Structure 1
Amino acid sequence: MRKQVLIIIILGFIIGSPLTFAQEVTTTITGKVIEENGGGPIEFATVLVGNPKDQKPIVGTTTLEDGSFILETDAQNFYIEVSFIGFTTKQYDNPQINNAKIDLGTVTLAEDSQQLDEVVVEGEVSQTTFKLDKRIFNVGADLSSTGASALEVLNNVPSVNVNIEGQISLRGSQGVQMLINGKPSVIANEQGNALGTLTADMIERIEVITNPSAKYDAEGTSGIINIVLKKEEKKGLNGAVTLNTGVPNNHSIGLSLNRRTEKFNLFSQMGFGRRTFPSDNETENRNLSDNTYITSNGESDKNETFFNLILGTDYHINDLNVITLSGNFAYEWEKETSDALFSTFDTSNERTDAFNRNELTTATNPKYSYELQYKKDFEGNEEQSLLLSATGNLFAKDQSSDFINTIVFGAGDDMQQRSRTDFSQADYTFKADYTHPWAEKYTLETGAQYQINDVENDFAISDFDGTGFIENPDLTNVFEWTQKVLGIYATTAYESDAWGLKLGLRFEDTDLATLLRNTNESNDQNYNNLFPSGHTSYKFSDNLSLQAGYSKRIFRPRMWDLNPFFNIRNNFSIRTGNPNLQPEFTDSYEITSIYKIGKVSMNFGVFYRHTEDVVERIVAFEDNVSISRPENIGINNTTGIEFNAKYIPTNWLSFTNDFNYSSFKRDGDFEGNSFDFKGDQWSTRLTNKVKLPADFDLEFIGQYQSGYRTLQQEIADNLFMDFGARKKIFKGKAILSLSVRDVFASRIRESITNQPGFYLRDFSQQGRFITFGVSFGFGKGEAMEFSGQKHF
């Protein structure tokens, strides 16, 4: 019996051996890909070996400069696909194998005009889509954003405004929570001012969440803006390179590379550039009691050189489990010079003295961020998922400034001052999110987040005594700020074809501590809050929908709101922080209608916000010196409307209009003084896109922002225009772009503070920026519509 079993095993091995060896045979595939018109070789065309059963790729490669390719596969049953963007795709089913080789010979690809048209249309139209609790702005080829930074792209997003100083507001209000890929990031951190290292070509979409659900961090009284970065996953090697040059002094280069295999997706983006930001500045401090005043007029040039690198990989363990590891490194070298003339006038408007103040500031700003993420999908339900992530963000600033006062009129002595800043910030975020749909129309979301912010700012001001610099102990200290926030949430949603409802509740516990180390002044706070949210939508027809939402939000004072130190660039105008600030809370309500009429799509919304413990800056004035400091001042109620419309009369012409209006009422007092007041503001933006023959495209953007008032200030209105042009060449493989931002150099920043005892005016203007860009895509990558550079 044993012998019989042994004979069967041996026979089975002998019979099965040829099959086993056959499975291990490697087939080599060769060929050359050329164009049908002209017969020129096609470089970076994709050659793919796929499984005919599930249509999934097995292995792939790209062609060389002469169009040739070679690849190997161990598969026994497969098809071969040859493709390149803008050309028809050829597929070889059941190819003939001779001696473990397949020679496809010369593969000729013809132009696909329909595909080219589709690529143009999809790339050029930046469309806004609506979800139950957010709006999604898909970043397309906005021509005026050629060479733009993330801030300039944001300025083209409905409801979002970015002023000349880079401050972001949503529906006219600041206090916006900025996220990158759904998480806090050093790139979006205002302390680092780092959004300039994030370039428009890196952005896939921008999500505007005016009433966030409980799933999101409760930070941000105006709402959340989430920037989602591109991460290509096309098979093979793909990429694009861009080159920019412009005035004033704007030069940069960007590179994007992606390599996708069956298990790994490797992605990278890199940018390097240098740019100068010139500015004209004017200030006036007037004492209305005796009518004496001080003025300053000057120019400044801020030169920034930056480097940005993003590296990451997705490891597909299997169809249901993916691990992502990514990192971002950015480095900035800053050099700023300024020259301002300060003059003092008496009650007769006669100048009594004057001096020139020269500044030289240098700084280095390294920024690091990294993320480890694990996502698990569940078999049988593509909407069910578990997401775990850990994120770290590190930012540092090593800055020094030298100031020299030179007397040019009147009595007095020359003076020298010096300041130094050694700043470091570390942010860590740990998240867990679980989504569980059931019964097709119901979804449960739950999760938790723990966030740690740790900041130290070592600051000193020194005065020159004739022989050396002596630190001023009254203006020198180390400020420490630590904040820890634990959040736990749950939401449940019902969504049918016509009606949807989403309810949620979030709990957050905040532990905050500040310390002035040298003087041992501390302020510790601990508080916890519940943040409910509710959203509903109803679809009356394909052309008409209605949405409504509510959420409770919080604004926690940021580092620079709390930091008591100030810049001595202008000793007569000082801006400082307040370590004792309390958070402000907002209840936000909105109703929005979305409808289409023929070639016009529109949405109209009404919103209302009630905010308590509002943070406002209070200006104090003494000896012609103004000191601005944030304080908690009363209650604010804001009511507003929002209107967006898009009209496409023909396939070569489109118009988009965005309009926002808000009216606010303030009830508050500070130190026994009433600060009750009313005001309003509005803004509108009109975008016109024109498609011309020969692959020429033009874009015009006109924008108006009305003047408005804050607690003590009047902010001037703004009217400006941007322009963009583009020409596609080499069948769309390359793009030439031109952008002119602030065409008429009319964009300004002017504020006037007119109080019973004093009058202040602050004015700045940067002027026109012109950029020319070239972009080229290879592999299956497309030419970038934007290029990398720093923001204004």
Structure 2
Amino acid sequence: MNKKILITTLTLLLSFATFAQRPDAKTITVSGKVIEKGSNLPLEYTTIVFENARNKQLSGGITDEKGNFKFDVPAGRYNVRVEFISYKTFSFPQKDYLESTNLGTIQMESDVAQLKEVEVIAEKSSVEMKLDKRVYNVGKDMIVKGGTVSDVLDNVPSVTVDAEGNVALRGNESVKILIDGRPSGLAGINIADALKLLPADAVEKIEVVTNPSARFDAEGGGGIINIILRKGKANGINGSVMVNAGDPETYGTSMNLNKKGDGFNLFSNFGYNYRNNPGNSLVDAEYFNPNGTTSRFINERRTNDRLSEGYNANFGIDLNLSKSLVWTNGLTFRENRGKNPDNVFFYNFDSAFNPTFIRNRLNDQNSNEFSIEYASNFVKKFKKDGHQLTADLSFSQNRENEFATITDQILGDPSSLDIEQTSNIQKQQRNLFQTDYVLPIGKNGRFEAGYRGNFLKNLTDFAVTPDLTNFSNTLEYIEKVNAFYSQYGSKINKFSYFFGLRFEDSNIEVNSLSANNFNTKKYNNLFPSATFNYEFSESSSVSLSYSKRINRPRGRFLNPISSLSSNINIFQGNPDLDPSLTDAIDLGYLKRWSKLTFNTSAYINITNDSFQFIRKESGLFVEGVPVILSTPINLAKEYRAGFEFNLNYTPYKWWRLNGNFNAFRNETQGDYSYVDYVGNTVNQNFDNVAFTWFARINSKITLPYKIDWQTNGTYNAPQSNAQGRSLGVASMNLAFSKDVLKDKGTIALNVSDVFNSRKRIMETNIPNVVSSYSEMQWRERQIMLTFTYRFNKQKNERERQPRREDTGGEEYMGRP
């Protein structure tokens, strides 16, 4: 097809030269405009061919960036056709053109049949790298087929997901996760758990913004991860269906369906999945007497089944109310039911490591979760390019109920049987209102301003029966944040800049209704941001950015008790946690060659009142074993400095590589004091310096018979903390895929965690209390077979409808 355009263009040029040699011929002017049917978007570089009906000579021209054309031809009788790749040719019947003529607005319609002839149309790489963000295209990644959003994030450069599902950006877990550019109720009450349930095929791409501008929420000291859901854009009725099955027992199906016509675009996604995610953990602990001598050993062995069955659906419509006004409405819901029999054996030994007894604790847990969200968006475009006003609102509700029956007994001693029942009922409601205004000023200037109101209410009712240790609690969390921002930027030759300021007024209530303890925290903050960019050339540029960020504690961080799966190692939230504030500085460099894109950055994050997890004895004992509590606290100051680079390399057409390396130094400074259960004051110094790194490489090779082979390898290096260290872990994923049925179908086989090595391995030491070694594997190796069938669209289909920019004005200012 590219050769066809080249030949046509050369022929037109020769024709122009021929006509230029005929001064006696009358010349007329032909004009008009070409747009895409349905979206009314202008089509640039469309060819308009005038073929003389007598001598078959060609003349004509091409459209500009606004779809307009205007050129001169000799008066005469012509056949006229309008041509553009992947669109049906538009023809005018043979006619005499004797006077200057305006052909009006010509609407071009996509030609699905022609799309099959296009081998590759500017196919995007799996990872697009820019100075201010990285964009990960999920559709190109075979490894996540049939998986979850948590699997997707674990393949994104700079992002890691640990064995418990916690997401970190550059090793920092203080990260804000958005869906379609905004906080969403679909993410659930516990974000880590919700990401492990949302299907990967519902996601189009992931945007990673390491140092956001003032336009974004100030939440997330480590940056922002924006999950963009799929939304069809092609004309007519089109979509795809996917089915998958795997081992351990996993199967599911999903479908996305789109209908686009004149003035509207209907889009939808449906999915069902059943997953068995067996996991396991172990803890080998040595307990000490106050004088430092060994009192006993306990080896803990745990298995989990984690069965889940879920449904999700999304319905939406874009309405083109006028040429300049688009109104989008969407309704999304998600339901999931789960079972998680958590079986723990405690092997007890005396101080000489002689076996004493074995205790078994079975936590038979059932859960159900339901989320629903309505979102609406208006986009009003004004006459000047880039001048627009947007308004968003969304309402979501989420409920999550967990019920468990816990049986605990010493094997061989029926009289020791103890039965407890727990319930954890959570309800969340979130309302969001937002408006953004963008005004271009002059040739390169841009002004932005906006408002966002985020209103959240979360109620958690945790109950234990019988409650012998007063663990039952009802916690109410209410968050009201009103934010205003403005920012301005411009470009002077090769230098561009952007300054912003955000104001957030926060009203937070953390109320323990069971204990009649009511705590209100009101505070407001200014969050400045600045970005500077210099382009050495079209392929090389450097940037420097600064922003101030905040991290508010929520959920399990605040809830005193939310689980009793183990009654000697208990996680306990802290309702008195304060938010932490971070100053972030980032220096980045981007260089592009023909086959290689290199992006590197050095960064510094300075955080006040950072969250740290401590372990301490509670004063409670289970058959003489001290109950150890793990709880978060505000621990003075944290300094994080690091360096990372990302590479996209295509050595051959059949081989693509991308890699990510991140190394950072983390220093904490702080002391913690508490009074133990016997009245002694315990002082702990948490001053600590840790250095660690992680690396990821992804390779995609096209084998003979057009079989794609993808390999993903990750290594997380050891890291120390004030009470121990985590050990290094390496893991690998594999995937193969083959297009079938004339490229309308794709078969993919992927293996997640090939060597079954993805674990969280920790060593912990609390002097004169406990020393332990632990391994936690959230999910064992999984094999998945997936079949995808596309109808009325192709694998590499070109999508011309522009999306709304959620990342502010950085790209407008000339950023790559």
Deviations 1:647-701 (A, max 9, x none): 2111011222210000122111111432111111100111111112222110111
Report what 2:310 is aligned to: 306
Report what 1:743 is aligned to: 754
Residue 293 of structure 1 contacts residue 624 of structure 1 at CA under 8 Å; is this kept in 2? no
| Structure-to-structure mapping, 1:380-419, within 5 angstroms | 381-409=384-412, 413-419=416-422
Q: Give the AA of the match of 1:166.
A: G
| Structure-to-structure mapping, 1:507-586, within 5 angstroms | 507-586=503-582
Report what 2:150 is aligned to: 151
Residue 669 of structure 1 contacts residue 675 of structure 1 at CA under 8 Å; is this kept in 2? yes
Moved more, 312-321 or 663-672: 663-672
Report what 2:783 is aligned to: 770
Deviations 1:346-371 (A, max 9, x none): 11212222222222111110011111
Deviations 1:156-195 (A, max 9, x none): 2111111122111001111100001110012334615222
Q: How far off is 1:605 after superposition?
A: 1.0
Match of 1:57 among 27, 34, 37: 37
Q: How far off is 1:580 after superposition?
A: 0.5
Cα distance in 1 between the residues matched to 2:387 and 2:575 = 44
1:139 aligned onto 2:141: no
| Structure-to-structure mapping, 1:79-90, within 5 angstroms | 90=88
Moved more, 290-299 or 605-614: 290-299
State the secondary structure of the residue aligned to 2:531.
strand
Residue 139 of structure 1 contacts residue 206 of structure 1 at CA under 8 Å; is this kept in 2? yes
Q: How far off is 1:572 after superposition?
A: 0.8
Task: Choose between structure 1 and 2 for higher RCO, CA contacts under 8 A separated by at least 6 residues.
Answer: 1
- Quick one: structure 1 residues 546 and 462, their matched pair in 2 at CA, closer, same or farther if it must change by over 3 Å? same
Q: What's the C-alpha RMSD, in Å, of the aligned pairs?
A: 2.5
1:249 aligned onto 2:253: no
Deviations 1:755-788 (A, max 9, x none): 212213332223211110000111236499xxxx
1:500 aligned onto 2:499: no
Q: How far off is 1:496 after superposition?
A: 4.9
Q: Give the AA of the match of 2:523.
A: Y
Report what 1:40 is aligned to: none
Q: How far off is 1:270 after superposition?
A: 0.6
Report what 2:190 is aligned to: 191
Q: How far off is 1:411 after superposition?
A: 8.9
Report what 1:258 is aligned to: 258
Q: Give the AA of the match of 2:535.
A: K
| Structure-to-structure mapping, 1:56-455, within 5 angstroms | 56-57=36-37, 90-91=88-89, 93-94=91-92, 115=118, 117-118=119-120, 122=123, 125-130=125-130, 133-189=132-188, 191=190, 193-289=193-289, 290-291=293-294, 292-379=296-383, 381-409=384-412, 413-455=416-458
Q: How far off is 1:410 after superposition?
A: 6.5
Q: How far off is 1:227 after superposition?
A: 1.2
Q: How far off is 1:703 after superposition?
A: 0.8
User: What percentage of aligned pairs have identical amino acids?
Assistant: 29
- Quick one: structure 1 residues 682 and 250, their matched pair in 2 at CA, closer, same or farther if it must change by over 3 Å? same
State the secondary structure of the residue aligned to 2:470.
helix
Match of 2:697 among 686, 698, 709: 686
Q: How far off is 1:242 after superposition?
A: 0.3
Residue 146 of structure 1 contacts residue 724 of structure 1 at CA under 8 Å; is this kept in 2? no
Number of aligned pairs?
A: 691
Q: Give the AA of the match of 2:401.
A: D
Residue 355 of structure 1 contacts residue 409 of structure 1 at CA under 8 Å; is this kept in 2? no
Q: Give the AA of the match of 1:526.
A: K
Q: How far off is 1:637 after superposition?
A: 0.8
Cα distance in 2 between the residues matched to 1:421 and 1:262 = 49
Cα distance in 2 between the residues matched to 1:559 and 1:630 = 12
Q: What TM-score do the two structures reach when normalised by structure 1?
A: 0.83
Report what 2:773 is aligned to: 761
| Structure-to-structure mapping, 1:667-706, within 5 angstroms | 667-671=669-673, 672-706=683-717
Deviations 1:314-342 (A, max 9, x none): 11101111111101100000011132211
Residue 424 of structure 2 contacts residue 562 of structure 2 at CA under 8 Å; is this kept in 1? no
Report what 2:19 is aligned to: none
Moved more, 704-713 or 500-509: 704-713
Q: How far off is 1:474 after superposition?
A: 1.2
Cα distance in 2 between the residues matched to 1:584 and 1:200 = 32
Deviations 1:217-273 (A, max 9, x none): 100000111112222122211110000001111100000001111122111001101
State the secondary structure of the residue aligned to 1:518.
coil
Residue 454 of structure 2 contacts residue 480 of structure 2 at CA under 8 Å; is this kept in 1? yes
Q: What TM-score do the two structures reach when normalised by structure 2?
A: 0.81
- Quick one: structure 1 residues 453 and 59, their matched pair in 2 at CA, closer, same or farther if it must change by over 3 Å? closer
Q: How far off is 1:430 after superposition?
A: 0.7
Moved more, 772-781 or 175-184: 772-781
Q: How far off is 1:473 after superposition?
A: 7.3
Q: Give the AA of the match of 1:700.
A: T
Residue 432 of structure 2 contacts residue 453 of structure 2 at CA under 8 Å; is this kept in 1? yes
| Structure-to-structure mapping, 1:598-609, within 5 angstroms | 598-609=594-605
State the secondary structure of the residue aligned to 1:144.
helix
Deviations 1:498-543 (A, max 9, x none): 2210100011111111111122011111011110000111110123
State the secondary structure of the residue aligned to 1:624.
strand
Residue 241 of structure 1 contacts residue 253 of structure 1 at CA under 8 Å; is this kept in 2? yes
Extract unaligned runs of 5+ from structure 2: 1-30, 41-79, 95-110, 620-624, 674-682, 798-816
1:596 aligned onto 2:592: yes
Q: How far off is 1:140 after superposition?
A: 4.1
Q: Give the AA of the match of 1:449.
A: R
Residue 558 of structure 2 contacts residue 576 of structure 2 at CA under 8 Å; is this kept in 1? yes
Cα distance in 2 between the residues matched to 1:409 and 1:245 = 41
Match of 2:611 among 607, 611, 615: 615
Q: Give the AA of the match of 2:791.
A: F
Q: Give the AA of the match of 1:394.
A: Q
Cα distance in 2 between the residues matched to 1:322 and 1:59 = 11
Cα distance in 2 between the residues matched to 1:695 and 1:198 = 31
Residue 733 of structure 1 contacts residue 783 of structure 1 at CA under 8 Å; is this kept in 2? no
Q: Give the AA of the match of 1:55.
A: I
Cα distance in 2 between the residues matched to 1:562 and 1:433 = 33
Extract unaligned runs of 5+ from structure 1: 1-50, 61-78, 97-107, 464-470, 785-792
Residue 337 of structure 1 contacts residue 360 of structure 1 at CA under 8 Å; is this kept in 2? yes
State the secondary structure of the residue aligned to 2:374.
strand
Q: Give the AA of the match of 1:433.
A: D
- Quick one: structure 1 residues 241 and 496, their matched pair in 2 at CA, closer, same or farther if it must change by over 3 Å? farther
Residue 123 of structure 2 contacts residue 796 of structure 2 at CA under 8 Å; is this kept in 1? no
Match of 2:720 among 704, 709, 727: 709
State the secondary structure of the residue aligned to 2:577.
coil
Q: Give the AA of the match of 2:664.
A: S
Deviations 1:69-116 (A, max 9, x none): xxxxxxxxxx99999xxx9754352479xxxxxxxxxxx99777750x
- Quick one: structure 1 residues 313 and 350, their matched pair in 2 at CA, closer, same or farther if it must change by over 3 Å? same
State the secondary structure of the residue aligned to 1:571.
coil
Report what 2:56 is aligned to: none
Cα distance in 2 between the residues matched to 1:732 and 1:353 = 62
Q: How far off is 1:197 after superposition?
A: 4.3
- Quick one: structure 1 residues 310 and 58, their matched pair in 2 at CA, closer, same or farther if it must change by over 3 Å? closer
Moved more, 601-610 or 348-357: 348-357
Q: Give the AA of the match of 1:203.
A: V
- Quick one: structure 1 residues 363 and 139, their matched pair in 2 at CA, closer, same or farther if it must change by over 3 Å? closer
